[in-house]
Structure 1
Amino acid sequence: MKMRFPISKVILYTTFLSTMSVAAQTDKINRDYRPRTYDVQVRQFEIYPDSTNDIIFLGNSITARAQWNELLRLPQARNRGISGDTTFGILERLDEVTKGRPSQIFLLIGINDISRNFPDDEIIRNYETIITRIQKESPKTRLVVQTILPVNSSFGEYERHYNKDEHIVKVNTGIKRLAKKYELTLIDLHPLFLDSSGSLNAKYTDEGLHLNEKGYLYWAEILHPYLH
């Protein structure tokens, strides 16, 4: 015997599936997403004085969580990290960084793009646009690009960022290619933070995504030879 459902229930169920599908698609392609604190932080950055001696650390929460001037004992270090930021967010606020014509920019961005399912090729294209804009808008700035750090999925706090290792590898391959194409200094952080299983070493993190104090001390050691 065939089961028959009232037309109203069929319509409601079809509408539900359609809504869920649209929501999933929107979640994947929401390039307009900006973190909740994005606007106020950009406005704060804009009122800070600029100097051509500034060394800018540009990125997302992994950058934002460090006090770079204290960590590196570098008074001219400036933190321009925003938690949750993406390559789209960097592009939107990049003029605030380049207008000061800083001495150096250390760039680390991309893991949130990957977590939001932006296509790898699109992330790499955005990365290239960031590079070309910096070179055009602040030609004397020395840009240092860094590969995206690994994650560790054995922790349970940032599921959206976990199990995306193949995307991290592909984007990092693109970053290395761009560094070579534009003759940039590259710091290949990714392999330096791996454990024997290919994940972010647990001694450098407390939740599988961000670095803990040991991770930042290690990163600082890596950065020192590149500072001037």
Structure 2
Amino acid sequence: MKVQKKMMGITLIAMVALSVAACGNNGQTPASEITRQSVDISTPEQTSYASEFQTSIFFGDSITEGLSYHDVLKQENVLAGAGKTAEFALKDVDELVKRKPKHIFIQLGSDDILWPTDNPKEYSLSNYGKLIDRIKAGLPEASITILSVTPVTAEAEKAEPRYRNIGDYNEGLKQLASKIQVGYIDVSSIVAAHSDMYDADGIHFKAEFYPILLDYVKDELGRQKSAK
């Protein structure tokens, strides 16, 4: 009987592990599987981005990781990885604090909406709030801006219907940003305007998209400052 109970316990643990792994891989393709297109960071344009965001950290999942993977920003300005959720990102706060950025841009959620729980949005936003509270405690002088989750192609949405919840999730992010008084930038419009820049999976983006993203973020920050 003891042996039987032990085997049942091992089976349950294995099932949970497989569920978590599946969720991570479903939403976020490892960087090694994304089409790599190196952008020469030594050109005047790329040197400008490196200078513009030299005191910034982009904190997020594999969508964010594309900034360093495609050599658009230096690795020290990006703290991101495949499968990252707001909950998993909590363990990276110490490393974030160690880098002492003045500006932090957070883009998480592509995996959160796939999380195997009754209410992924509620669960994720709760952890998102905890994440920002911890960042504020470690870096009280840093400015924090949330970037919306980027939409996917119709084909990717058909393959994974839970991506239909991206718009609703982004509305939750916008409300959270207002509640805890951090910045919020909706990047959906530039994705719609550059739909040819999706990678083959319809979720990630080619290298050419990231300079456009950085320009948009910079312009939106300027508009937000002017509006204050």
TM over 0.5: yes
Residue 202 of structure 2 corresponds to which residue in structure 1? 208
- The letter for the 2-side match of 1:219 is L
| Unmatched runs of 5 consecutive residues or more in structure 1 | 1-18, 38-52, 196-200
1-structure distance, mates of 2:70, 2:57: 10
Q: Which residue of 1 aligns with 2:169?
A: 171
Which of 182, 185, 192 in structure 2 is aligned with 1:184?
182
Question: Residue by residue, what CA displacement relative to the aligned partner does 1:48-81 show, whole Å, maximum 9, x if unpaired?
Answer: xxxxx73111011111122399636xx7961111
1:182: Cα distance to partner? 2.1
Distance of 1:213 and 1:81 partners within structure 2:
16
Greater relative contact order, per chain length (Cα 8 Å cut-off, separation 6+): 2
TM-score when normalising by structure 1: 0.66
Q: For residues 141-170 of structure 1, what are the alpha-carbon distances to aligned partners after superposition, in whole Å with 9 as ceiling and x for unaligned?
A: 1101111010114259x94xx322442122
Q: What one-letter code is carried by the residue in structure 2 that aligns with 1:202?
A: S
Partner of 2:65: 64
Match of 1:115 in 2: 114
Q: Indicate whether 1:219 and 2:213 are aligned.
A: yes
1:79 aligned partner: 78
For residues 130 and 167 of structure 1, the distance between their equivalents in structure 2, rounded to whole angstroms, comes to 22
Instruction: Give the Cα–Cα distance (whole angstroms) in 1 for the partners of residues 80 and 185 of structure 2.
Output: 18
- Give the residue type in structure 2 aligned to 1:188: D
- Identity rate, percent: 24
Kept after mapping to 2: 8 A contact 1:84/1:112:
yes
Code of the aligned partner of 2:195 = A
* Higher Rg of the two aligned structures: 1
Letter in 2 for 1:177: Q
Match of 2:47 in 1: none
Asked if the contact 1:202/1:208 (under 8 Å) is kept, the reply is no
SS of equivalent to 2:140: coil
1:13-53 per-position Cα deviation (integer Å, ceiling 9, x unaligned): xxxxxx89x94x776678x9799x9xxxxxxxxxxxxxxx7
Aligned length: 182
2:149 and 2:187 mapped to 1: Cα distance? 7
SS of the residue aligned with 1:106? strand
Contact 1:57/1:77 (<8 A) preserved: no
Which amino acid is the alignment partner of residue 127 of structure 1? Y
RMSD of Structure 2 on Structure 1 (CA) = 3.7
List alignment gaps of at least 5 residues for structure 2: 1-10, 31-53
The normalised TM-score by structure 2 is 0.66
Amino acid at match of 1:183: Q
Per-residue displacement from partner, 1:113-167 (whole Å, max 9, x unpaired)?
Answer: 22333411001111111111111221101101111010114259x94xx322442
Residues 68 and 221 from structure 1, CA distance in 2 versus in 1: closer, same or farther, beyond 3 angstroms? farther
* Partner SS state of residue 161, structure 2: coil
